[in-house]
Amino acid sequence: MAELILALDLPDKNEAMRLLDKVNGELTWCKVGMEMFTHYGPQLLAELASRNLKIFLDLKFYDIPHTVAQAVAQARTLCDLLTVHCQGGRRMLEACVAARTDPSRKPLLFGVTVLTSFAYGEIPGINEQPEDFARSLASLADTCGLDGVVCSAREVKQIKHEHPTLSCLCPGIRPEWAAAGDQRRVATPAQAVAWGADYLVVGRPILEALDPRDALLRILDEIDHPL
């Protein structure tokens, strides 16, 4: 069964906590990205963990292998799932896997392939179609020993076909009733599940809804009853 991850892309921690109170009991995973983490740091993650939430720390590390490996080592005890950029290359990805010494594979390490906000022609220096580039980055992630990739739901079927053990985490999720915003390679929750996504990351369709709890429940219902 696919899991829903609520992206806490909010400027204010109290706002995030109020939202979590509203969806209490319905949610297993939340995502902390660069906005919240830059402001509140590890203390926020401890507060979320005390609410029994699993934490996806989406910092998308991308630097030289040594620096990123040290950052992964620091993040080991802070979260359940962590992202690094596949474009950091083989040596960087292998160094990340080596830095996660925990035999229980915590945190799960996911490689960002191609941001879901990129359409064809927008990735600097890349003339390939985003889905083809995402596939080759997924292949790299797999051979480097990552647990999964971040990709558009539109790419999941092909990636799973080529790499059956790789998990797929998909942002760019837009129910029919939500606006796409800056996202380009989007899919509905039902499509993402039907195509094999393991995790669905949703931010604005819930955060900006008049009734966030209702929006979340509608998305959970779509996950439970895909196409």
Interacting residues toward ligand C5P by CB under 6 A:
7, 9, 33, 58, 112, 115-116, 150, 171-172, 183, 201-205
Q: Is 60 a catalytic residue?
A: yes
**Nearest to ligand C5P of 26, 98 (CB atom):** 26
For 41: left if phi > 0, alpha if psi spans -120 to 50, otherwise beta; the answer is left
User: Residue 199 is which amino acid?
Assistant: Y
Instruction: Give dist(CA 138, CA 159) in Å, integer.
Output: 7
Candidate list 13, 22, 60, 106, residue with the active-site label: 60
Maximum Cα–Cα distance across the chain? 45
**Nearest to ligand C5P of 183, 191 (CB atom):** 183
Q: Tell which residue, 141, 94, 90, has the closest CA to residue 113.
A: 141
Q: Give me the least distance between CB of 66 and ligand C5P, in Å please.
A: 24
Minimal CB distance to ligand C5P: which residue? 203
CB 217 within 8 A of CB 26: yes
Instruction: Give dist(CA 163, CA 148) in Å, integer.
Output: 10
Q: Give me the least distance between CB of 150 and ligand C5P, in Å please.
A: 5
Q: Give me the least distance between CB of 156 and ligand C5P, in Å please.
A: 13
Q: Give me the least distance between CB of 103 and ligand C5P, in Å please.
A: 28
**Nearest to ligand C5P of 102, 182 (CB atom):** 182
**Nearest to ligand C5P of 82, 115 (CB atom):** 115
- In degrees, rounded to 5, the angle at the alpha carbon of residue 218 between the alpha carbons of residues 217 and 220 is 60
Token pair 């999941």 in the structure block, residue: 156
Residues labelled catalytic: 60
